[in-house]
Structures are given as structure tokens and as C-alpha cells.
Amino acid sequence: MSDGKFTVRAAVLWGAIPKKARTQILANVFCGKCRGAVTITNFSGEEDDGDVILKGACANCGQAVVRVVETAERDSSGN
């Protein structure tokens, strides 16, 4: 499972995630067509508001899939 194309900022954030966790993330992407967790292939990554957005294809059916990897620390209290 090789890394896809990433923007510079997304590559930094993605690289900060331990390799074992990255492997698990790539193997747990929801596919609406398959209706379950699948492996993402042919993916790219971009940063959005401190999070990494992975866009690619389902390894089983080829449907477009997206995975948001939350890397930003946020105050969830609403303050």
C-alpha cells in the first residue's frame, strides 16, 4: 500500500501519524456501494482546516470514497 499524492501540508500531517495507524486508516474507509469498511486505493491527500482528507477508490468496486482523518485539536465545548 503506497502513499498517493499529497499536498505539502497534508504530507506533513499524514507523516506525523504512526505507520501502523496509517495502515489501519487506509484499510477502514466506508464505501456506500459495498456498505462497509474497505481499503482505499489510488488515493490522494489534502489538508482542510488541519485535517487530512483522503480521496480515492474502493478496492472492491472502484466507487469513489473519502476518508477524513482528524488531526487538528479542536475545542468541542463550543467556546
Question: What's the whole-model pTM score?
Answer: 0.85
* Domain span holding position 9: 5-69
CA 4 to CA 42: how far, in whole Å? 6
- Burial label, 22 (beta-carbon count in 10 A; 0-12, 13-18, 19+): middle
CA 12 to CA 25: how far, in whole Å? 16
Q: Confirm whether 79 is domain-assigned.
A: no
Contact of 18 with 33, CB cutoff 8 Å: no
Q: Confirm whether 75 is domain-assigned.
A: no
Low-confidence residues of the chain: pLDDT under 70: 1-3, 73-79
Q: Confirm whether 26 is domain-assigned.
A: yes
Residue 3's nearest CA partner among 79, 48, 56, 47 is 56
Question: What pLDDT, on a 0 to 100 scale, did the predictor assign at position 77?
Answer: 58
Give the number of other Cβ atoms within 10 Å of residue 71's Cβ: 16
The structural domain count of the chain equals 1
